[in-house]
Amino acid sequence: MDIMFQLIFLVIFFILPILVIVAVVKVVRRMDQRAEERLRLEKENATLQHQQMKEITNRITKIEKMLKEVD
């Protein structure tokens, strides 16, 4: 009976907290990886939007020049 009590004590007070810490570390790492991926995607989107804005600005400039020539 003493051995069972010691085994239960060992599991509850030593092994269980270690397992909880390992699980928390895994979750935090996963969250960090997701945040980095989101940041990378946002940077790509910002770059793409910037390029699109340049293209639109160039098109508008060309259209304005054409309209001035017509007048």
**Is the pLDDT score of 1 beyond 80?**
no
Cα(3)–Cα(14) distance, integer angstroms: 16
Asked whether residue 43 is assigned to any structural domain, the reply reads: yes
Asked whether residue 11 is assigned to any structural domain, the reply reads: no
For 1-71, where are the alpha helices, taking DSSP H only? 2-10, 16-70
Torsion angle of the four alpha carbons 56, 57, 62, 66, in this order, in degrees rounded to the nearest 10: 100
Of 39, 70, 15, 47, nearest to 55 (Cα)? 47
Using one digit for the tens of pLDDT, what is the confidence trace for 32-64? Answer: 999 999 999 999 999 999 999 999 999 999 999
Question: With bands split at pLDDT 50, 70 and 90, how would you rate the model's confidence at 2?
Answer: confident
Residue 35 belongs to what domain range?
30-71
Residue 35: its pLDDT value, please? Answer: 98
pTM (2 decimals)? 0.64
Asked whether residue 4 is assigned to any structural domain, the reply reads: no
